[in-house]
Structure formats: structure tokens, C-alpha cells
Structure 1
Amino acid sequence: MDYIPEELFSRILEALDETSLVVLSCVSRRCRARIACRQAWWRKRFERHFLYEDEHELKWLQHQMRVHVIKAYVRSISSGRTNAQRDTRLDWFTAYCMRRATEYRWRHGQCTRHQLTNVAITRPRGIRLQSMLLSPNGSPAKNAVIVSQWLFPPQKQPTWLLEQPCWGDTAMEHINVRDSWSGEYTIIRGTHIRKDDSHADLHSLYVWHSAAFHKPPRVIVAGQFVMNISVFKNWVVCQYLASETARRYTTHIYNLASNLYCSESLAPVTSCRILSATQESVHIIQLHYSELDIDSALATCVLWDVTPSHAAPFKWKAARKKEVFKTKQSPVRSDCVDDNRFLLWTDCEEGDDEVYAEIAPGGISSLVLLQVVNDVTGASLEEKWSNSIRAAKVWPIVSRNLLLVDYKDTSDVLLSLEDGSVIHRVSLPCWYYSHLYPLEAQWRGMTKHATWKDPRRGLSRDCRTKTLPNAMIYGRDAAFSVFDYADYIRRPYQKTQLALEQQLASFIDVTNLSADKRHMLFRVFV
């Protein structure tokens, strides 16, 4: 294979799909180099299979790029080189293989377990790769901890550890964590506690940058009744009552990167969600609904374009009304899918059993997909499809253009985001945690007997689970387990048929090959 002329080798590459090329690259180092050098080709394949429009896919790729750049920088410092520009270029073939291998490792439980019990007293002296706030809702703020992954040069392998955020002069003994968000910025909504330990119904929003947990937080809202918080990239949208006597909520927009913010008392609002954002502005969806009948409500959605640096920051763009299913115990919610699509749906998780049904054909819509359409006349909100399905939870899978819907009885169904039709495929819990899905062909080929090897099996269920792009964090108090899927190390490669099949398993289903084909594959690689 190594001595095939380049012209013939190029013809072979054109005739093979990505999976076959990855398998072929295992023949030898030279063969791998000849396949991997086609970087533009592999980048296009990566972008086709793992869409950047999916925030989870983008987060995984950004983490890979960050780790790659940091390790290249450490290598350049260790070797005394001052120009490491070439080393910082991402190898798209490796990224493609790693992305597919990561999903496979999640599904098959191939990870390295790290036990964390001690909280670092001083700030580590190294390079932070990623972090996640661990603080159950309702817990004291003083007990909040952060699980972080660090690289300590000249070490090559990252290290996991526990930290505590700095609160500065904040009286954290009088604050409980209401809820939190982690990303480039970590945000805590803290509930103020009175001296008699009762809640004061007042909240503050505390913000740390991921590289500055050792510094006191920024307080972007202080001592207000805060609700309906939406966080996207470096933007925060929330609503609060400006005073105890106020009847209308103030909508507050904050750009964490520029420290610019603006506020406006909009029309009656049930919730606000960030639809899309740039460095300077943000699009938000404002939702309000009022009851029409015993089982229906009129929902009004309004699209706003908000630019904090403008004199008049709030600009109305479009609006749409829709009658939806509604009971006393089933609120209407909005959830964004991508930059121009969002869901309007009725949360039936706490609904009355006598009015609850998984699907009520011909009934009032309880799940609607709306899309922002821009033309020469301006923007409008158009309904793409609606359904009378009774959902308890919904999760958009943008990379596969699907929507996962949970029923009240914990069963689920997949719907096409294109037209709302039912898609019959297996759904595994590992994808809910990782948000990383297999390729379309792989997924379609999986049977209902496919299972997930849960690494938490046998551990206490009285714990919380949080996830990062390549890791699952499980535990409580100050004792946590980190299941690292990027740190998984295979056993040394052996040229046996079993070892070969294990090596190729994440790219090709060897078990479904006939015995003669499996033997032929083994002969090719040895």
C-alpha cells in the first residue's frame, strides 16, 4: 500500500468514504500520512458531519482547538522555539477521528476515572483547560466548588482538581445558590437569606470569567427579584422587579465581554430567550400568554434586536400569535433551536393525568416550531410545523436536525425538525449527557438492543451529574468522580485479530462482517 503511485492513490481516496479511509490509515504510518495530509478535504467532511450551528459540537471543537494550541505552546517553550505557528494549526484528520472516537467512548464506557476529594487551598500555577461549577440548587454559596482540568508544564498529561471561587467581600454565608450556568463565564443566581434562615425573595447575579475564579465576582444585578434568565456565549438576559410595588418586570440585557448593558420595561412578558448573538447585539424572543379556555391559551412571541451601545437599544423586529394547549399545571415555554428557529411548547410534566395524553391527534397544538424569515420587507415569524404531542421535556439535536421529546412516563420520541414527522431510531442516555451523536448512517444502523455502558453503575444514585465536552462529573459535597473520555488509553497495540477489531470498532462494525471478510481484513493489516 505504501508504494502505490500518487495518481492511483488519489483515485482510491476519491472512491472511498470517510470510514474506509480511516480504516485504511491504520495500515501503516506512511499510509496514514498520505491520507491525513489532505487537510482541506477532511475539514469539509468535519463541517458536514458535525455542524457548527450545533452549540454542543462547536463547544467540543473549540475545546479541542484550545488544548491543541496550549500543548503546541508548551512544546515550543520546552524546545526553545519562538515560532510555533505551524504547530498551532489543527490537524483536521485527527480532529475527525477524535470526534468519532469520543462518541464511541461515551457509548461504550471507555474512560479514565479520577477521584477528587481535596479542594485546592491556593490557586494552581498552570494553564486551565476547562472547568465546571458544582453547586446543587438550594445549597449554601460557601460550599460551591469548581472541577477544573489543568496542564502543568512540563507535564504532558492534564490534571483534574477541585477549587473554590473567590467571593471577595460578598457575605456568602447569607446566600444560597438558586441556579447556575457554566461556560466561558460562570454565573450564579444567589438567593438572599435572612437572619432567621428564611428566603428574602431577593436575588443577585454573580459572574466569574473562567480564567479568574481567584478574583471576586462581578455583580450584574443586585438585590432584585430575578427570574427568566437566559445565557448564551457572553450575553445574559434576565427579568426583575425594579421595586416591591412595581407591576411590570424590567428586562435587563448584559454583555459580559464589553460590560455594556441596557434595560427596558417591555409589554407583559412571561419569559425571554436569547435566539442569536453577535459581539455587539443580541436577538431575543419575548413570550407572553393569556388563557383563552380551560385547555388553551393565546401565546404571543415578539422578536427584539437589542444593541446596548445604541441610544435606543431595543428595536422591535416581528411578532406572531398562536393558540396552544394549556392547563393550570402546564406552562407554555419557549426554547431556541439555532440562530433562526425556536420552539413554542407546553410543559406537561406536572399536568393532570386526566388531561394528559402522549399524542392527541387533531387537538390544539402543544408543540410549535417557528422560524425567523428575513426578506426585503423585513423580518417575520413563520410557523414551520405544529404538533399536539404532550411533552415533558424537549432537546433539539441541531447536528442531526432532530428533536428529542420526553413523555411524562419517561419514554421518548424523535421528531424531524424539518417537518415534525416521527423518526424511528434508538435513543441512548449517553447522547443526552454528551450531546455528541454518531453519524447518520451509524445511527440508522443501530438496533433497539443497543445499550450504553454507564460508568456510574454501582455508585450511589444520591448524587448529581454534570458534563463537559469530554467528561462526566459525578458526586456531591467535596467528593467527585471525573470520568474522562479524552484521557482513555488503549492497551498496547497487538497484531492479533481481536486487537485489530477492537482498534477499528469505533469506525466500522466488525461484528456484522462475515467470517471470511473479517479474516481478509486481518490479512490486509498484518
Structure 2
Amino acid sequence: MKRIPDEVLDHIVEICNDEAALVVLSCASKRLRSRVACRQEAWRKRFERQFLQSNDSEQKWLHQHMRAKRAATHLGDTTSILLFPQGSAQFDWFDAYCERRAVEYRWRHGKYAAHRLTNTANVRPRGVRLQSILCAFDYSPAGDVAVVSQWLIASPRQSAWFSEPLYWGDMDTEDVVVLSKRQSDEYLVIQAWNMLVDCYSLCVWHTAAPHRPPRTIITDKREIPDVSLRGSWLAHRIAHSADTGQYGAAFVYDLARGACYSDIQGNIHTCCSLNATTDRMRIVCVEYNKSTSSPVTIAYKLWQVAPDRAEPMQCQATGRKAMSLKQGDIKLQRIDDGKFILYSRETDDLDPISAPTISLVEVVDEASGVLLKEKWSLGIRVMDIRSIASHDLFSIQQTYDKWLLLSLIDGSEVRRVHFNCWICSGLYPPDDQWAKMIDDSMWWNPRDDPTLHIHEEASQELSPAAIVYGHDDAITVVDYTGCMHRSEHQQGVERLSIEIRNRRIAERKHLVAEDKRIAAKRKLLLPEGVRMRTEGAHLRDKSKRMREEGEHIFTESMRMRDEDSRVYDKGKRMFTESMQMRDEGRRLCDEGRRILDECEHLTAKLQEIRAQIRALDST
């Protein structure tokens, strides 16, 4: 291997598409690692292709990794710098690719380092902050909010976790609770509710300065829902007030410039930020009349905020859609910089002809302007939606423990394994690796590790490389960035999992052999099956013909039965009339006899009278 010229090694690395093989090759020697890693452009493209930065979790992890490398360089760790043969130093995309694959592997196999933090630190450590996780659980007192941060300590040079309280300045937090929170690389945002005066506020801290007082950007008697933070841009909605009759409005803040834009007003029910750069931001707003019965007509609008324009706020495109709405409100879910989903929560089975509950809309930038194009819509049960835009997928939660994977291209179902660790971290394996995975393993959930003593009611906060569990004053950090922790419990479960996997492999081999046997038997029975299918088709046609003849005979018999019934009724009527005529004839006969008897009597009497007359005439 030492005698192979660098040009040959470069050619091998260039034509090889097996990343795993290249990583194994790089572990053989420093020279091979240098030859594999020096093709930085190829590794950068491979990284961006497999881990799309339009995914928020992917982008957050990469920024965190870059901060860690810059911090190590700042503190004098030369091992974090990639030195090429020319002596130049730059960001190591090969190292980033390997570390990204490794952190997903650690999540899936439960390889983590656990840190238990019992008290918040009032003294900031000397070093560089690598990441911060805002621990502010819903409806928790504002005074209990803490920021858990990972630091690279200057001396000794190692990673450590600290918890520090969030400073509220002059704000009285005795009656204040946290309603929601948002976090970006630069800012921390908390929506606070003062229960005593029934007032809502949005407070902003810089991520690097949680020890400084916040900037309160809005205070209102109305609720402040749909808070979204993207970079240095903050968007939120002010709810409609039935008491004052004030309509809702959407607000956009440029936190870097300290500017506010509030020209989006109307019957706005929800909004979300779509994408943001340093100088502009896009936001989607949804309007509809909730009082109408389902289906309701949804009007959605795309707004762009550009401070450098004469009119900073501009409505770029609009669209309309009829959707089913039986409970709750219409929701918005950002997929990536150019797509969003409209959906309504539906927990019951739907009628096949009902209006859709999900609609995917794409933003199309053309030379003539911006269009909002509906790609597809579905009518299915949905509770929640998560974006997996890096794989052209998204997941739908239909029940508490059932998730469904759908394609962003056409909305069709995609059948793949879907582990909970991916839902928590937002980091998925490369598409080709994911497609080959079988459901033969489980996520090593830290809650199930008895050595960590995580309370069953502990709340959790997530980042792409860590989990923070909090209960009372105890905070446990599960760190997937480096060192690994394996408890005896996990090792036992892992052995059991390996046994189950081996058993499944054996069962699979048996099923494959059984499949081959059945296939061979099927091949032998196929001609007989074809013959029987032909005879069956013939018998089916004959049966169909006989059925048609039977239907004809049945129809004719029914007609004849109706005719016989009609003739029978007529004969019965004529018989009744004949009986009546017979009785009348008998009566007439009796009357005739009576008349004849009377005639005979009169004749006899007439003869007697005539005899008397003749006797008188003779005398």
C-alpha cells in the first residue's frame, strides 16, 4: 500500500461511491486518510446531498459542529485543522461527514455520555460555548428557567456541561409562567404570561448572554400565538379579541436591526415563517371564517419582508383551498424554504368523499412573479406533522403511538422503519442506508436506563446531539457528541437484542427457503392452474349465461303468474255472477210455476163461468 502512487489513490477515491469503504480505508494510515480527505469538494457535495441544509435539525447540527471546530482551533487544538499537502488549512468536510454519520449511529444504538447537573452555576466558565439548550417547560415558573450549555473549557481542554439561570432583569417573575419558547443559533425567545394582571410578553435574549436582561419586544392583553424564530427574524401573531372587536395581526421583527413590521392585518388565524436571510424574510398567513360549517374555504398569503425596499412588506402571492375542519383550527407546518403544509387535526376516520385535511403548497419563483402551487391534497386522520425534507418525506402522527411516512412528491405512503430517536434528533441516516434497514433493533431510550435515575415525570428538551431531562432541581444531560456510556442494563438489553436479531435472521432464512420451495411448487402447479383458470372462466361464462336465462325465465314466470292471477280473478268474478244468475233463474222458475198454477186456476174458473153462461143461454 505504501508503494501505491498518490495519483492512483486519488483515482480510486474519485471513482469509489461507497462511503463506508472510503472511511475504512482512511483509518488504515495517516497517508490514506489524507488522500481520502483531501477531496474536500466531493465530500462537501456528498454531505450537502445526503444531509440537506433546508432541514432545521441538519442545519443546527452543522453549525454546532463548525462552532466546535472553530473553538478547538481558537484554544490551540491543531488536531481539528485539516492540513493538506500544500500546507493550507480549511474546514474538514470529510470529518464533518464522518461525525454526522456517527452521531446518528450513537442516537440509534444508545451510545452517549450522561451528565447530572444538580445546581445552576452563577460563575461563567472560561472557554467557548458550543451549544445551548433552553430549559423552559410549558407553564413552568419563569424563575425556574435555566440554560443548559456545553462548553469547551480552556484548561483543561475538554467539553463540559453547565446550567445557568436565565436573568429576567427588573421584571417581577413571581406570578409569571412560561407559555412557549423558541431558540435559534443567536437568540432565545420566551412567551411569558403574567397571571396577576393577565398580560402577555415576548422576551428575547442573545444565546451567548443569558446572564443579561432580556429585550421585551411586545406586551399585550391579547394572546401571542404562532411564535416562530428563524435566524435573527422573529414572527408572531396577535389573536383576535372578541371583547374589543380588534382583528388579529401578524408582526415581524428584525432582531439584528431592532426593527418591527406590522402591516399584515385581518382575520388571521395562523402564520409561520417560511425562510429567512440576513436581509429578508418570507411569512405565510392563513385567513378563514371559522363560524362556517365544514368544509371551510382557506385563504393563504405569502408575504415578504425586505427592509431595503420602499415598501418593506409585500404580499407576493395568494391561494385558496376548501378543507375539512371539524375540530380545532387550521395548522401550518413549514417543510423547507419553498414548501409548507396546511392541515386540520382530525382524530376520526373520514368519509371518502369529504374535503381534504392535508394540502401541500409549493412556492414557485418565476420571472413573471411568485406563485403558490398546490401539489396534492389528502383526506386522512392527522394529529401532528413532522418534516423530513432531507429525504422528500414527512411523517404524520395518527394516534399516540402510530406514525405514517408519506412522500412529499405525491403524498403516497412510504413503508420504512421509523425509530423514535430520529423523531427526537431530527437526524436521519442517508437515504440508501435507511431504505435497506429492517425493524430488527430498538432505540436505546435513556429513560429506560436505571443507572441514570431519570424521574418518570421528568420533562425533556431536545437538540440534534443531546437530550436534557429536568425534574425539580435535578437536570440530566444525555450527550451524543463524543464519549459513550454503556450501563450493564443496556448491555444486557443489547445482548437480548442481538439474540432477537439473530433469531429473526434465522427465521428470515427459513422463510426464504420456504419461499423458494413454494415458488418451485407453484411453478409445477402453474400449468394446471392455467387450465383450471381457463375452465373456470368458461364455467363462469356459462354460469353467467344460465343466470341470465334464469332471470329471463323468472321474469316470464312472474308475468305468467300475474296473468294467471288476473284470469283467476276474472273467472271467480264470472262464477259469482253465474251463481247469482242461477239463483235468479230459480226464482223466475218458481214465479213462472206460480203464474202457471194461477193461470190454470183462472182457466178452470173461466170454463166454469162459460159453462154457467151457456146454461143460462140455453134456458
TM bin, normalised by shorter chain, reads: 0.7 to 0.9
Structure 1 residue 312: Cα displacement: 3.1
Match of 1:189 in 2: 191
Match of 2:424 in 1: 433
Match of 1:219 in 2: 216
Match of 2:2 in 1: 2
SS at match of 1:124: coil
Structure 1 residue 217: Cα displacement: 0.3
Q: Does 1:466 align with 2:458?
A: no
Aligned equivalents of 2:225, 2:431: Cα separation in 1: 39
Q: 1:6 to 1:123 in 2, by over 3 A?
A: closer
Deviations 1:168-212 (A, max 9, x none): 111111311111112221111110121xxxxx4420111000111
Aligned equivalents of 1:64, 1:320: Cα separation in 2: 40
SS at match of 1:63: helix
Q: 1:265 to 1:434 in 2, by over 3 A?
A: closer
Contact 1:145 1:478 in 2 (8 A): no
Q: Which amino acid aligns with 1:75?
A: G
Contact 1:2 1:31 in 2 (8 A): no
Aligned equivalents of 2:460, 2:318: Cα separation in 1: 38
Structure 1 residue 293: Cα displacement: 6.3
Equivalent positions of 1:193-342 (< 5 A) are 193-194=195-196, 200-225=197-222, 226-240=224-238, 245-264=244-263, 266-291=265-290, 294-308=293-307, 310=309, 312-327=311-326, 329-342=327-340
Equivalent positions of 1:92-171 (< 5 A) are 92-171=93-172
Q: 1:308 to 1:250 in 2, by over 3 A?
A: farther
Deviations 1:193-236 (A, max 9, x none): 21xxxxx4420111000111111000000244222222212111
Q: Where do 5+ consecutive residues of structure 1 fail to align?
A: 79-85, 195-199, 492-510, 513-526
Contact 2:167 2:212 in 1 (8 A): yes
Match of 1:483 in 2: 478
Structure 1 residue 307: Cα displacement: 2.7
Structure (1/2) with the larger strand percentage:
1
Equivalent positions of 1:314-463 (< 5 A) are 314-327=313-326, 329-348=327-346, 351=347, 356-357=348-349, 361-457=352-448, 458=450, 459-463=454-458
Equivalent positions of 1:72-83 (< 5 A) are 72-75=73-76
Aligned equivalents of 1:189, 1:414: Cα separation in 2: 32
Structure 1 residue 250: Cα displacement: 3.0
Q: Which amino acid aligns with 1:26?
A: C
Aligned equivalents of 1:77, 1:212: Cα separation in 2: 28
Aligned equivalents of 1:401, 1:77: Cα separation in 2: 38
Contact 1:367 1:388 in 2 (8 A): yes
Aligned equivalents of 1:306, 1:335: Cα separation in 2: 20
Aligned equivalents of 1:135, 1:144: Cα separation in 2: 5
SS at match of 1:43: helix
Match of 2:538 in 1: none
Structure 1 residue 309: Cα displacement: 5.5
SS at match of 2:337: coil
Match of 1:502 in 2: none
Q: 1:296 to 1:16 in 2, by over 3 A?
A: closer
Deviations 1:65-101 (A, max 9, x none): 11101110110799xxxxxxx8872111111110001
Q: 1:161 to 1:262 in 2, by over 3 A?
A: same
Aligned equivalents of 1:53, 1:445: Cα separation in 2: 24
Structure 1 residue 37: Cα displacement: 1.8
Structure 1 residue 443: Cα displacement: 0.7
Contact 2:51 2:390 in 1 (8 A): yes
Contact 1:248 1:265 in 2 (8 A): no
Equivalent positions of 1:11-90 (< 5 A) are 11-13=11-13, 14-75=15-76, 89-90=90-91
Moved more, 269-278 or 470-479: 470-479
Structure 1 residue 23: Cα displacement: 1.7
SS at match of 1:64: helix
Aligned equivalents of 2:210, 2:289: Cα separation in 1: 43
SS at match of 1:123: coil
Deviations 1:437-489 (A, max 9, x none): 01111111111233111122143320111112211111223211111111225
Contact 2:225 2:239 in 1 (8 A): no
Structure 1 residue 104: Cα displacement: 0.2
Deviations 1:305-346 (A, max 9, x none): 12345553321111111011110x232111111111100111
Aligned equivalents of 2:63, 2:93: Cα separation in 1: 13
Contact 1:149 1:158 in 2 (8 A): yes
Contact 2:6 2:35 in 1 (8 A): no
Aligned equivalents of 1:210, 1:455: Cα separation in 2: 27
Aligned equivalents of 2:362, 2:456: Cα separation in 1: 40
Aligned equivalents of 1:292, 1:380: Cα separation in 2: 29
Structure (1/2) with the larger helix percentage:
2
Structure 1 residue 276: Cα displacement: 1.3
| Percentage of pairs with the same residue | 36
Aligned equivalents of 1:76, 1:171: Cα separation in 2: 44
Q: Where do 5+ consecutive residues of structure 2 fail to align?
A: 80-86, 487-503, 506-619
State the structure with more CA Rg. Answer: 2
Aligned equivalents of 1:6, 1:50: Cα separation in 2: 29
Aligned equivalents of 1:69, 1:383: Cα separation in 2: 43
Aligned equivalents of 2:204, 2:420: Cα separation in 1: 31
RCO comparison, higher one (Cα < 8 Å, 6+): 1
Q: 1:142 to 1:293 in 2, by over 3 A?
A: closer
Match of 2:570 in 1: none
Aligned equivalents of 2:212, 2:455: Cα separation in 1: 34
Contact 1:137 1:179 in 2 (8 A): yes
Contact 1:165 1:213 in 2 (8 A): yes
Moved more, 456-465 or 333-342: 456-465
Contact 1:132 1:468 in 2 (8 A): yes
Contact 2:393 2:405 in 1 (8 A): yes
Using the size of structure 2 for normalisation, the TM-score is 0.73
SS at match of 2:288: strand
* Superposed CA RMSD: 2.6
Contact 2:126 2:154 in 1 (8 A): no
Equivalent positions of 1:511-522 (< 5 A) are none
SS at match of 2:99: helix
Q: Which amino acid aligns with 1:384?
A: K
User: How many residue pairs end up in the alignment?
Assistant: 477
Aligned equivalents of 1:154, 1:89: Cα separation in 2: 25
SS at match of 2:250: strand
